Amino acid sequence: MVSPVLYQSRSRSDDPFEAAADAGVLRVISDSRTPVFLTVHARGRRRYGYWQPYDHIADRGGCYVALPTPVCDRLYSQGRITLGDPLVDPGKTTYRVRPANDPVAPVRIPVAPLPAVAAAQTLAA
């Protein structure tokens, strides 16, 4: 018998498989070449997915790929993904899914070139 004092259960956020699933889904959502959409059907069923173009080299693709709904819902509840404006049809509503924080391009600080005399002095020192 395990003592309840010595036994500590792990929370679900500590699960390495959960973290890997989150990272995989975020990788797909963050790829600008792969637009991901959430479709909410009239009866409440939700489906996250994207179109995988046909790859003639691998001879696969040309189909819709569904992402795991529980993982996407968890990312949405954590604020890691956002939903765009709704497109409403009679039987469903579609949202564009994007990462919450778009990566910012690195800032490059311009550096004034050294005069030739100063560069020679620096190299000689």
Ordered mean pLDDT values, 10 residues apiece, the chain (125 residues) = 48 58 87 92 93 86 90 90 92 93 55 55 56
Residue 8 has a pLDDT of 47
Residue 15 has a pLDDT of 55
Residue 23 has a pLDDT of 83
CA distance readout (Å), 15 to 11, 90, 98, 106 = 7, 40, 24, 32
What is the C-alpha separation between 23 and 25, in angstroms, rounded?
6
Residue 69 has a pLDDT of 93
Residue 9 has a pLDDT of 44
For residue 99, with 0-12 CB atoms within 10 Å meaning exposed, 13-18 middle and 19 or more buried, which class applies?
middle
Residue 112 has a pLDDT of 55
